[in-house]
Structure 1
């Protein structure tokens, strides 16, 4: 199976989303996702990036999405697999795993 590079992007902030009281913080979610995905999938084709929505962005697509988060009052953290949003607010591993499977990421042996 030919696996392409997959990028998992987590948009979030240090302060927990007002509607997500009791949920883990965005940075905690980012680290939790890396650990959970690393236990199930071969890590080689997966890159991770964390985007702090309260910081200026150098990449246009990140800046545009950060603006969308504030304009549409989206819940964060928001998780993307490549360019597909797979989670908003409290992420569900099942949904993220399905997206990784769709992208051909191989399971650990």
Structure 2
């Protein structure tokens, strides 16, 4: 049982980070993540937000984290759940799923 609806934030930019040349773009990662999480945790609510690090929303927390991505030269996309970085550059689904399960998300049983 989901304890609380979780927001998954994907921080990135239109330009692929220099260290991530052969990896998907931040937007492609966002789309892939939305499909993967929806399949793994069907009928369980979550929010997925894409934050452009060069044009963040007015939300102070998101704006500050976007600045941190730039200042600390983090590999983007950076995937964040409740303030915890769960993926950077080439995020791993297993790590993201583990974090969601901490909040009561139940994976779909595979036959």
Q: Tell me the TM-score normalized by structure 1.
A: 0.92
CA distance in 1, matches of 2:10, 2:2: 25
Is 1:21–2:33 an aligned residue pair?
no
**What residue is the counterpart of 1:47 in the other structure?**
47
Do 2:2 and 2:44's aligned partners in 1 also have CA atoms closer than 8 Å? no
CA RMSD, 1 decimal: 1.4
Q: Which runs of 4+ in 1 moved over 4 A?
A: none
* CA gap 1:10/1:2 in 2 versus in 1, 3 angstroms: closer
5+ long unaligned stretches in structure 2: none
Q: Given the two structures, how large is their TM-score scaled by the length of structure 2?
A: 0.90
Equivalence for 1:101: 101
Is 1:66 the equivalent of 2:63? no
| CA separation of 1:21 and 1:72: change in aligned 2, threshold 3 A | same
